[in-house]
Every structure is written in structure tokens, then in C-alpha cells.
Amino acid sequence: MSHAVKVEVRELSPELLDDYLRFFDKDAFTDFPEWSGCYCGFYDTPGDNWDSTAKAGPAHREARAERIRSGRAHGLLAIAGGRVVGWCNAQSRSNFLNMRRYATVVDDPSEPVGSIMCFLVAPGHRGKGVGTALLNAACDKFRRDKLHVAEGYPTTNPVKRAWETPWAEENYKGPLSMYLKASFKIHRQLERFAIVRKQL
């Protein structure tokens, strides 16, 4: 593992909109442009249709910016050297407009659970503890929000492809090992992913 970097984690707020957009515009997907149009709006967009191509990027960017401006987008930004180097989409599970395939594994929608949905760390800052800093900050945020359980969805059996899976796709849920080191336990094991939980 590379040398740990000093990271400050801040909650997303309208004041940090420009920093958020700069991260997604310039740094987040330099090595995986296929997802560069996401802007982390996937789980906040109703319906089954989601255009993941770069051409949909401007529309996703504007929709996401509007949610951030109005205080309806939640999550955590990791900042090092004055720039955003990582992002974690972490909020009350009930806040997500569209849990997608994870909705099928929710036993009790009213349970006070915080969901850790996505991680993104800029190339050049990976393997330096940024994800762990975001994970710890997410648990702290959930405690402040009076949630009782932190929940994550690490991929445990990735889809096998003929080509190497890009780092950002392989790790966007956070690796299982990171959760286990942070005292999460496997709650349920499904075909492609696990649900991991930590009592807060």
C-alpha cells in the first residue's frame, strides 16, 4: 500500500458545488471515460432508463447540480492539497430515489439505515487511505443523523469479462476488505455482492 495521504473529509453542501463538479469534470474518470457522464446521479434518477454514455453527461451534470444547489444531494468529499480527490455517496437509505437492484434486498424500508452507495477516488490517490477516510466519515455522519446501522454493498463476484475491469468500476462499491477492516460484518451474501453492516 502506498503512503497514506492527509485527507480532510467534508459533507457535500451547495458551497462545495464547484469543487464537486470540477472533480467529476476533470479528475474522477480520467482512466475510465465510459462513466464520465454519471455525476453520481444514478441512484437519484427515477425509472429504469439511465443513459450512461458521455453524451448524456451534460444533462446528468445539470440535474445533479440542481440537487446539490437545493440541498437535496448528500455525501462526502475527500480533499487533499486543496482539491477534491475522492467522493462517497452516503446518506439515509430512505433518501435514495431509486435503489435499483439493491431495493430487492431491503427487508424493512423504515429501518434507520445509512447506505454507502458509491466510492470514487481519483487516479494518483488510490491505495492511500482515501476510501477508508470516507468510510469512517460516513459512519460518523450516520451517527449524527441518528441512524442505527451503516450498510454497504461491496461486489464480491464481479462479472467476468474478456478484458480487464477498470479500477473505478471494480471498486466503486468499496472493496469488502475495507469494510471488514472497519468492523463491518457480512449481513447477507448474494450472487454478485454482499450486504455488509455495522451497528452504530
**Residue 99 belongs to a domain:** yes
* Structural domain harbouring 174: 8-199
**Could you give the number of structural domains in the chain?**
1
What residues have CB less than 8 Å from 176, skipping those under 6 apart?
154, 156, 186, 194, 196
Contact 125, 80 (CB under 8 A): yes
* Structural domain contains residue 27: yes
In this structure, the number of other CB atoms found within 10 A of the CB of residue 130 comes to: 24
- Contact status, residue 195 vs residue 105, Cβ threshold 8 Å: yes
Query: Domain for residue 3, yes or no?
Result: no
| CATH number of the domain bearing residue 19 | 3.40.630.30
Does residue 61 belong to any structural domain of this protein? Answer: yes
Q: Which pLDDT score is estimated for 2?
A: 55
pTM score: 0.93
Alpha-carbon distances, residue 144 vs 94, 114, 128, 151, 176 (angstroms): 16, 11, 26, 16, 24
pLDDT digits (tens, 9 = 90+) for 46-100: 888 888 778 899 999 999 999 999 999 999 999 999 999 999 999 999 999 999 9
Answer whether residue 93 is part of any domain: yes
88/86 Cα distance (integer angstroms): 7
Question: What does the angle CA 163 – CA 165 – CA 169 come to, to the nearest 5 degrees?
Answer: 150
The DSSP bridge partners found for residue 79 are 8, 84
